Copies of this chain bind each other. A is one copy, B any other.
Amino acid sequence: MKVYLDNAATTKTDDAVIQAMAAAMAETFGNASSVHGFGRPARQAIEKARRQVAALINAQPEEILFTSGGTESDNLALVGVAEAYRRKGNHIITSQVEHHAVLHTCEHLEKLGYTVTYLPVDEFGRVTAEQVEAAITDETILVSIMYGNNEVGTLMPIADIGRVTRAKGVLFHTDAVQAAGQVPVDVVADQVDLLTLTGHKLHGPKGCGALFVRKGVRVAPQLFGGAQERGIRPGTENVPGIVGLGVAAELAGARLAADGNRRMRELRNYLLKGILERIPEVKVNGHTMERLPNNVNVSVKFIEGEGMLLSLDMVGIAASSGSACTSGSLDPSHVLLAMGLDHATAHGSLRLTLSHETTAEEIDYVLEKLPAIVERLRGMSPLWQAAQSKLGEEVACARQNRAGCACPYKG
């Protein structure tokens, strides 16, 4: 059995998306900037996709810029706003748990003379609107707080932050790469000024994303060339990618409208409950309620995530031990550390992320395989053995309820 539970890294491209992209390549191959019969349908296809993407987040079509993906959108939002509003101020506020596309861009901006506040998060990975408000100074031009965390799935209080930033006259960007399509996103209700999304996280194409830029908000271009995308994002338009993103956005919106991803959320809860019932000494990472509906993130204590990944892979289960962008790295997740986990617990993290295509049978398969894998790995772990003897002592102590017991676990 093959079970794909790494949908936060990337999603399976929807068949309808593949078909639409193949058709766009075969039939609408013209350059959208060409003023002839091969170019016009390409232009129309792009504008249709712009409406589809706008509809998913309650934006206007002309507020959608197409880019090469989430990383470029985040970079364009941050550096583009920083440059365009440099005369207003030089201060940016973000959080410690953002994706590296935001964090590393902020570090780049610090080198250029901007000041960045990296807000700490609570144990669930959340910042509050009050924290944001308290951090705003006369120099603040931009707040960038992600919508939903890519590792632990925690949802940030976006509407609250939007209320604060709008009231203070500060621009608000949110990286909604993980949230768009998973939960209802409304840039008007949430008072968001810039929003990043990308195709491949919502069963659309890789290599194509979008940046919502609210009307009136200025963004300095970061690439130079032709006049495409209102001169803000030059380069021959990726018509098939844009078409695919449009179809994916429409399908994601339809799924949200149908059941609000309730079925996926229930399966996710079933998976998490099953893990907690079957495996002792597991810590749930992230918020239990304010959470993306597809995300499970647990720290399986006394073993390492990498070992679990390899063992799961051998039985056909694809998972992640952190964000895909940092896999291969031995550093523990910056998100988990910011949430206060110690290195050992952070290293034992396992992320399982569902899609609307995930089945109960697949979850049952994981619940069948994972406990045995954990047991085997713990059997090889000196940390686990040491802990077991302590646990054994605790159990014995509790059973006997001996007076005068010196063990730290005495009830």
> How many residues of chain A have a CB within 8 Å of chain B?
76
Known: A21-B21, A72-B68, A206-B236. Contact between A224 and B324, CB under 8 A?
no
Tell yes or no: A101 within 8 A of B by CB: yes
In the complex, are the beta carbons of A234 and B36 less than 8 A apart?
A: no
Find chain B residues with CB under 8 A from A318 CB. Answer: 30, 34, 36-39
Contact with B along A212-242 (1 / 0, CB 8 A): 0000000000111111100000111111110
Would you give the shortest CB distance from A214 to chain B, in whole angstroms?
A: 23
Find chain B residues with CB under 8 A from A288 CB. Answer: none
Known: A107-B224, A309-B36, A319-B36. Contact between A234 and B100, CB under 8 A?
yes
Find chain B residues with CB under 8 A from A39 CB. Answer: 6, 9, 318, 324
In the complex, are the beta carbons of B224 and A108 less than 8 A apart?
A: yes
Contact with B along A17-38 (1 / 0, CB 8 A): 1100110011001110111111
Q: Which residues of A, 304-341, contact B by the 8 Å Cβ criterion?
A: 306, 309-310, 312-313, 316-320, 324-329
Q: Which residues of A, 43-100, contact B by the 8 Å Cβ criterion?
A: 68-72, 74-75, 99-100
Bound-complex Cα distance A52 to B9 (A) = 27
Known: A223-B71, A325-B225, A327-B34. Contact between A240 and B205, CB under 8 A?
yes
Find chain B residues with CB under 8 A from A9 CB. Answer: 30-31, 33-34, 39, 236
Tell yes or no: A2 within 8 A of B by CB: yes
B37, B75, B226: the one contacting A313 at CB < 8 Å is B37
Find chain B residues with CB under 8 A from A17 CB. Answer: 25
Find chain B residues with CB under 8 A from A234 CB. Answer: 71, 100-101, 104, 325
In the complex, are the beta carbons of A68 and B68 less than 8 A apart?
A: yes
Bound-complex Cα distance A108 to B239 (A) = 27
Known: A72-B235, A241-B206, A318-B39. Contact between A324 and B31, CB under 8 A?
yes
Tell yes or no: A13 within 8 A of B by CB: yes
Bound-complex Cα distance A75 to B2 (A) = 41
Bound-complex Cα distance A316 to B40 (A) = 13
Smallest CB-CB A-B distances: 6 pairs: A207-B238, A226-B325, A68-B68, A101-B225, A71-B235, A104-B224
With A9-B33, A18-B26, A205-B238 given, can you name 4 additional A-B contacts, CB distance below 8 Å?
A13-B25, A104-B225, A107-B224, A198-B236
